Amino acid sequence: MSQHFNAMPGFRRTMGFTLFYLGVLVLLPIGGMIFKVFQLSWGDFWAHATTPRALAAYRLSFGASFLAAFVNAIFGTLLAWVLVRYSFPGKRFVDALVDIPFALPTAVAGLTLANLFSPNGWLGQFLVPLGIKGAYSQLAVVLALIFVSLPFVVRTLQPVLEQMEREVEEAAATLGASRFRTFISVVAPSLLPAVLTGFVLSFARALGEYGSVIFISSNMQYKTEIAPLLIVSLLEQFEYSAAMSIAVVLLVISILLLAAINLLERWVSHFHR
């Protein structure tokens, strides 16, 4: 009786390497940060984490990240649909452009966006007279986060769209369903779990962004200062306890939001089975 050949080592060995790798690179740093914060009293932690400057940074970071992920969920879905369902000249070039935020250093992205949307930039010279400040404002933060997190939505949706059977859509059309009805009743339920996954990944990526934002926003306290920049500023001032407290708040809120969205994704997937 022939045995199934597996090129990789056994389960125990591979699981051991996996847990060791994740423990050293992920759990150990996070655990060290949490242990450092636990050395503070609750009053000190609360005082560091809820200063007016920190609250303003939370609002901007989470609000801008959510808005960027929401925009990417809409337009990233459209972009993925076009790349999968249609053939046109330059399709491979457009598909390659999606990955530019992955390869481009975030500082370069920030400088590029700043030059593009500054009052004297190619777009800024037309937008600023209309009252639209695409650089050195809260809108600039959102634009930077949209740029760096767009690929996560597109690359999440493309495999799902490629595996969708078009026969189901054709059957709905044969039965007299309009394009809108077909999309709402047939396509959208199949895509919704993937869209939510892309939204989560985009949100998580935007929340941790630092390099591109500091170059395109004015980094003004209480206005355009994001939470990661506040943490760096506190570290430069040797206020380690305050920096760790804010970092733990970001970590806890991020985990709660990601867990909530993942539960929603599972519920939607189960509901449409």
Secondary structure in 3-state letters for the chain: CCCCCCCCCCHHHHHHHHHHHHHHHHHHHHHHHHHHHHCCCHHHHHHHHCCHHHHHHHHHHHHHHHHHHHHHHHHHHHHHHHHHHCCCCCHHHHHHHCCHHHHCCHHHHHHHHHHHHCCCCCCHHHHHHHCCCCCCCHHHHHHHHHHHHHHHHHHHHHHHHHHCCHHHHHHHHHCCCCHHHHHHHHHHHHHHHHHHHHHHHHHHHHHCCCHHHHHHCCCCCCCCCCHHHHHHHHHHCCCHHHHHHHHHHHHHHHHHHHHHHHHHHHHHHHHCC
Q: Are residues 124 and 24 part of one domain?
A: no
Q: Are residues 244 and 117 part of one domain?
A: yes
CB 83 within 8 A of CB 89: no
Q: What average pLDDT does this structure show over 255-269?
A: 77
Residue 49 lies in a domain: yes
Per the structure, the count of domains in the chain is 2
Q: Is the pLDDT of residue 149 over 80?
A: yes
Q: Are residues 259 and 229 part of one domain?
A: yes
Q: Are residues 179 and 55 part of one domain?
A: yes
Q: Are residues 54 and 23 part of one domain?
A: no
Q: What average pLDDT does this structure show over 250-254?
A: 87
Q: What average pLDDT does this structure show over 86-98?
A: 90
pLDDT at 12: 75
The 10s digit of each residue's pLDDT in 187-225 is: 777 888 888 889 988 998 899 898 889 888 888 999 999
Q: Are residues 230 and 138 part of one domain?
A: yes
Q: What average pLDDT does this structure show over 96-124?
A: 88
Mean pLDDT of the chain: 85
What percent of the chain clears pLDDT 70, i.e. is strictly above it? 92
The 10s digit of each residue's pLDDT in 30-69 is: 888 888 888 888 999 999 999 999 999 999 999 999 999 9
Q: Are residues 21 and 136 part of one domain?
A: no
222: left (phi over 0), alpha (psi -120 to 50) or beta: left
Q: Are residues 78 and 19 part of one domain?
A: no
Residue 81 lies in a domain: yes
Burial profile 13-37: b = 16 or more Cβ within 10 angstroms, e = fewer: eeeeeeeeeeeeeeeeeeeebeebb
**Could you tell me the CATH number of the domain that includes residue 169?**
1.10.3720.10
pLDDT at 1: 46
Q: Are residues 143 and 114 part of one domain?
A: yes
Q: Is the pLDDT of residue 6 over 70?
A: no
pLDDT classification of 162: cutoffs 50, 70, 90: confident
Q: Are residues 96 and 34 part of one domain?
A: no
CB 73 within 8 A of CB 81: no
Q: How far apart are CA 246 and CA 57, in angstroms?
A: 10
| Residue 210 domain boundaries | 42-271
Q: Are residues 54 and 96 part of one domain?
A: yes
